[in-house]
Amino acid sequence: MKYSKIFAASHIIHNSVIIRSKTCCIMMTVLRNNHLEQLGAKGIFDTGIITIMTEEDRIMKKTIIAAMMAAITVGAVAGGAATFSASQEDAQLQIANGSEAQETIPDSEATQDTSGEDLQTAGDSGEEAQSVTEVAAALPSGDIARCELADENGTDSIADIAENVMPAMVSITNTSVQEVQDWFRGGSFQYESKSAGTGVIMGENDSELLIVSNNHVVEGANKLAVTFINETSVEGTVKGTDDKNDLAVVSVNLEDIDDETLSLIRVANAADSDEIRVGEQVVAIGNALGYGQSVTTGIVSALGREVMVRDTYGISDYEELIQTDAAINAGNSGGALLNMKGEVIGINSVKASANGVEGMGYAIPTAKALPIIQNLMNREQREKVSEEDAAYIGITGENVDASVSQLYGLPIGIYLSEVSENSPASDAGMTKGMVMTAFDGISVETMSDLQDLLQYYAAGETVTVTVQKADDNGGVVESELSLTLGRRSDYIKLN
């Protein structure tokens, strides 16, 4: 299918959308008068982090459920559909941090291959890529000792491995604000949500402790609390994320960690996941159900698995995952999958959850994750800019997720449905019909991704944006544009 013809059908992206709540156990598809109707609801579990519910939350939940029931009626009357679960042919995938039930779409042969660009971390394409072992050795390190490795002869037990690696594990509590549409009174209301996941200490620089986790564990956070092995908690900051591969790096200022805690924690070792074989024994450690770190064990069930996850903002396609039957439960997201030496070979991320499905958890292999983690760790640390310096671009966009990409051949990213005249976007050469795939070298898949990034960029800064568009032959052309950000307050005054 030619790219130009696909864009002619782009109204489908706008008019027929799947609505999902970030913290909802129940997924609903609502189409009403061709307008996007957002529906949110809070459940006991987030998608892989565990949602922490207070008494106020439970009262709020009753109100939300009533709103959901009203939405079901509206959707049915208006010709829409309300879907509560995957079909019998599909399994449900629950991201292992506890936030919300997810739908798993079976492996597809027609997925867009984006792994190559993610693994390209050497800079110029002409440079020879580092091996996974070299990348692991090159991660920032400092005075904190590394975890002790198990005996190569296999005399150490799982208990020994757990004891060695536990000091490198942390619990991450994400405090965010959720917005829910009120179908009875109109408008929307907000409430505070807390969810818990896991992280692995994998690096240290001169001023920061660097912790690896999943993007969905830290997504939308107003505040992050990192809890170490001795139950001491400090505030963490998102240093960088890769939404496409569900990876994140959280930093903690070393000055905020007391001496006793610094003496107890360790940095985890990493190994090349390409060297593992199906059938090898593995150990999973994570903050299961938010109760604290727990240990499970199993084997490598399969390698190179592909799953598609329907989450808050669309459908994401995750490739080359390790499948294991080691129990991975809500709260385990961002935790470590270890070989029998106690080395990290994967970052636990998702699990299949459906009737008749048991023992199907998935981890992001280090062969894929470590180059991305290295890039995130070395990224410049940014602070949120003031309201006075807040920036804007001047675009209206629609999210192109994996399902739309496969159906219409569009690249995953943000479809530019409108570019304002005399805006920073138009000045940079952006036009309607383009798809933005990266901002300042960081992949963006949704308008939410872009809005989150813009909080850290001030008006007047110049960044590079990556866009794709159709050429005259119906093919796809990728280009990089230089974009100077405008001042949002000036835009508001003019409009």
Q: Are 280 and 339 in contact (CB under 8 A)?
A: yes
Residue of 57, 246, 317, 401 marked active site: 246
User: Please, which residues bridge with residue 435 across strands?
Assistant: 415, 468
Between CA 384 and CA 377 the distance in angstroms is 18
Between CA 483 and CA 430 the distance in angstroms is 9
Quick: pLDDT tens for 42-78.
222 233 444 444 555 555 544 444 443 333 333 223 3
Q: How far, rounded to the nearest angstrom, does the alpha carbon of residue 494 sit from its chain's CA centroid? A: 35
Place of tokens 């390209």: 120
Quick: pLDDT tens for 222-233.
889 999 999 999
Nearest to 141 by CA among 378, 469, 336: 378
pLDDT of 192 strictly over 70:
yes
* 312 against 356, higher pLDDT: 356
Q: Report the chain's C-alpha Rg in angstroms.
A: 22
Q: Which whole-number Å values give the CA distances from 339 to 170, 218, 275, 343, in the listed order?
A: 19, 26, 10, 6
Query: Which residue stretches of 105-186 are H helix?
Result: 115-119, 132-138, 158-165
CATH architecture of residue range(s) 16-109+133-140+156-381: Beta Barrel (2.40)
Report the pLDDT value the prediction gives residue 313, as an integer from 0 to 100: 56
Number of residues that make up the chain: 495
Identify the CATH homologous superfamily for domain 391-494. Answer: PDZ domain (2.30.42.10)
Q: What percent of the chain has pLDDT over 70?
A: 70
Q: Tell me the HSE value of 302 on the side-chain side, using a 13 A CA sphere.
A: 12
Residue of 21, 213, 333, 403 marked active site: 333
In the chain, the N- to C-terminal Cα span, in Å, equals: 39
E strand or H helix that includes residue 432 = none
Place of tokens 């640390």: 381
What DSSP line would sit under 283-306, residue for residue? EEEE-GGGSS-EEEEEEEEEEEEE
Task: Determine the average pLDDT of the residues in 380-409.
Answer: 85
Nearest to 214 by CA among 99, 42, 121: 99
Question: Token pair for residue 158?
Answer: 């799982």
34-48 burial by CB neighbour count: b if 16+ within 10 A, else e?
A: eeebebbbbbbbbbb
Q: Are 239 and 211 in contact (CB under 8 A)?
A: no
pLDDT of 380 strictly over 70:
yes
* 34 against 128, higher pLDDT: 128
Q: What percent of the chain has pLDDT over 90?
A: 41
Report the pLDDT value the prediction gives residue 29, as an integer from 0 to 100: 25
The verdict on whether 246 is a catalytic residue reads: yes
E strand or H helix that includes residue 190 = strand 188-204
Quick: pLDDT tens for 335-364.
999 999 999 999 999 888 777 778 899 999
Nearest to 463 by CA among 419, 417, 428: 428
Task: Determine the average pLDDT of the residues in 268-293.
Answer: 93
Report the pLDDT value the prediction gives residue 311, as an integer from 0 to 100: 61
The verdict on whether 216 is a catalytic residue reads: yes
Nearest to 76 by CA among 43, 30, 22, 123: 30
Report the pLDDT value the prediction gives residue 495, as an integer from 0 to 100: 67
pLDDT of 237 strictly over 80:
yes
Nearest to 74 by CA among 101, 103, 37: 37
Q: Are 30 and 15 in contact (CB under 8 A)?
A: no
The verdict on whether 317 is a catalytic residue reads: no
Task: Determine the average pLDDT of the residues in 20-27.
Answer: 27
Q: Are 466 and 414 in contact (CB under 8 A)?
A: no
Beta-strand relationship, 92-95 and 208-213: unpaired
Phi, psi angle pair for 440, to nearest 5°: 55, 40
Residue of 216, 272, 317, 440 marked active site: 216
Q: Which amino acid is at 370?
A: L
3-class DSSP state for residue 491? helix
Between CA 479 and CA 436 the distance in angstroms is 10
Question: Token pair for residue 142?
Answer: 């400092």
Task: Determine the average pLDDT of the residues in 247-274.
Answer: 95
Between CA 119 and CA 123 the distance in angstroms is 11
Q: Where are the domains of the chain?
A: 16-109+133-140+156-381, 391-494
Quick: pLDDT tens for 89-100.
344 555 555 544
pTM, rounded to two decimals: 0.65
Torsion, CA 485, CA 488, CA 492, CA 495, rounded to 10: 10
Question: Token pair for residue 337?
Answer: 């999958």
Between CA 65 and CA 75 the distance in angstroms is 15
